[in-house]
Amino acid sequence: MNLKGPTHLDRITINPDVMDYQPCIRGLRIPVSLVVKLMASCKSIREILDDYPELEEEDVKQALEHVAWATAETSIPMVP
């Protein structure tokens, strides 16, 4: 993983006119959260690319890296 920081994530876009400010892939109406949820449900990158042919492998990698950086910057309290 490239550790330069989130500024190199050039495939992740946030636009008020596209998905209401949700981080998306390259301005498409494919939110980063969808890609991460698909990975979490055990879909492979190949399966995701087959289901969403407008995506590229680097899009999926940057979506995961975006979430990794975003969650590292936020403290989430654990509720017992």
Lowest-pLDDT choice from 12-21, 53-62, 68-77: 68-77
- Residue 24's contacts (CB-CB under 8 Å, 6 or more residues apart) are 12, 13, 14, 15, 18, 30, 31, 32
Helix 57-72 / helix 32-40 crossing angle, nearest 10 deg = 90
Give me the residue spans of the domains in the chain: 6-68
Q: What is the pTM of this model?
A: 0.80
Task: Give the CATH number of domain 6-68.
Answer: 1.10.10.10
Q: pLDDT tens across 11-56, in order?
A: 999 999 999 999 999 999 999 999 999 999 999 999 999 999 999 9
Alpha-carbon Rg for the chain, nearest whole angstrom, is 13
